[in-house]
Amino acid sequence: MKLPITLLLTVFVMTTSAWSQETTSLWPEGKMPFPNSEDQEDVFPILNLYPTQNAESHTRAAVVVCPGGGYGGLAKDHEGHQIAEWYNERGVSAFVLHYRLGSQGYHYPAELADVQRAIRWVRSNAESYDIDPERIAVMGFSAGGHLASMAATLFDREVYDAVDEIDKASARPDLAVLCYPVISMDSEITHGGSRKNLLGPDKYQDEDLAVSVSSEKNVTSDTPPTFLFQTDEDSAVPAENAVRFYLALRENGVPAEMHIYEKGPHGVGLYGGDPVLGTWSGLLDNWLRSRSFYSGPASQASVSGEVKLDGLPVSWGVLTFYPEEGSFPIVSVRVRRGKFSSPESTGPVVGASKLRFEGSIWEETEDAEDKIVQLDSLKPGGEPLLVEVKPGMSPLRFEFSSK
């Protein structure tokens, strides 16, 4: 039977952990594009809402999460609910998309319409949830990764007519996070079930249609910066999918970061119990911080100067600036032959920063006793080293002691 009208409005659903899960219907009643045929009942896509605007850690960033499932099901827990909680811990509002599926009789472009609508819904409701409309990411796993990659590359493809004011908002995500994603519909590397469920039993062999939704073919310079995570061992969705997308991003000058782990099956989610593979979310955390996702745009300054250790120029080292405002990007500047320099575009954030030094003078001395040292102060046990970063500041000079 069809869902009652109450489910077409924002409702509250009790979960097994006894807290309220806010949910909203994606489309207004009677205006969902690409409904099922008359002899099939419609399924209404929804967003599960995990807002953080009342949390102390609230960053004003948001993400639309697309669980995987081969376009035939939804891995709503480990690729949905758990991911939303991970973002909430970092002060990011999460919106888990329960999009329509091929197994329910819905095929392309219904799924693309759903993810475009989800991003527009979040952007249109930014004020209500205290969200920065220019810090909205999309994230997807497996087939959900394909959906997220379509959101990142086909955000301006008009696949449905506007149904209300929400559809006036941009559908372009500001960042994309793709985890062991289906990317290509090329039969040599794609996930066959995803291709058939997305395109439908009558069209899944249509090569022109398959190419049109192969995301590596649709990357442009307007595709948002992207983070990719994959395992080499994945036999369900081969790493060639992620690699092709990464190479397309490079070709089009889109900032990208990709991590391929040797071990690990398909569909792992966070996998925090694995001491190796479970580190991928930490890498994502670092990347999001480096992209100012948690903080919003931050003013940066050029820096330059000299560094000595035990009276000698540092042969090889790094100075890392940790802003006192914890959500701002952490910036490292290389030290070579006693000097360092960074332009404003890659320089540290303006304001107070703690400074951490790592370096060596072995190249100068070739003394076996001269090993790499790490210091948070000018000498072991000293006061933490603080720097006030300012535009146009004079060259900095540091003299560290290892003893």
Query: Do 129 and 182 sit in the same domain of this protein?
Result: yes
Average pLDDT value over all residues in the chain? 93
Nearest Cα to 64, choosing from 8, 124, 3? 124
| Distance, CA of 18 to CA of 95 (rounded, Å) | 20
On whether residue 382 sits in a domain, the answer given is: yes
Banded model confidence at residue 34, pLDDT cuts 50, 70, 90: very high
pLDDT (tens digit per residue) in 344-392: 999 999 999 999 999 999 999 999 989 999 999 999 999 999 999 999 9
Domain boundary among 238, 255, 290: 290
Query: Do 236 and 127 sit in the same domain of this protein?
Result: yes
Task: Tell me what the mean pLDDT of segment 45-51 comes to.
Answer: 98
Residue 283 has pLDDT above 80, yes or no: yes
Q: Among 6-15, 270-279, 367-376, whose mean pLDDT is lowest?
A: 6-15
Q: Please give the pLDDT value at position 38.
A: 67
Tell me, what DSSP letter sits at residue 231?
Answer: E
Query: Do 64 and 94 sit in the same domain of this protein?
Result: yes
Residue 322 has pLDDT above 80, yes or no: yes
3-class DSSP state for residue 102? Answer: helix
Amino acid letter, residue 32: M
Residue 200 has pLDDT above 60, yes or no: yes
Task: Tell me what the mean pLDDT of segment 219-240 comes to.
Answer: 98
Q: Please give the pLDDT value at position 236.
A: 96
Residue 7 has pLDDT above 90, yes or no: no
Domain count of the fold of the chain: 2
Q: Please give the pLDDT value at position 13.
A: 36
CB burial of residue 79 (10 Å; 0-12, 13-18, 19+): buried
Query: Do 50 and 143 sit in the same domain of this protein?
Result: yes
| Distance, CA of 332 to CA of 347 (rounded, Å) | 8
Domain CATH number, residue 367: 2.60.40
Among the residues of 278-322, which ranges form H helices?
A: 280-290
The pair of three-digit structure tokens given for residue 240, joined into one six-digit string? 């060639």
Instruction: Give the structural domain span for 351.
Output: 303-400
Tell me, what DSSP letter sits at residue 5?
Answer: G
Strand 396-400 to 303-309 pairing: parallel
Task: Tell me what the mean pLDDT of segment 214-239 comes to.
Answer: 98
Q: Please give the pLDDT value at position 41.
A: 84
- DSSP secondary structure string for all residues of 313-370: E-SEEEEEEEESSTTSPPEEEEEETTEEEE-GGGSPBSEEEEEEEEEE-HHHH--TT-
Which residues, in sequence order, are bridge partners of residue 322?
354
Query: Do 212 and 249 sit in the same domain of this protein?
Result: yes
Domain boundary among 258, 290, 322: 290
Cis peptide bond upstream of 109, omega within 30: yes
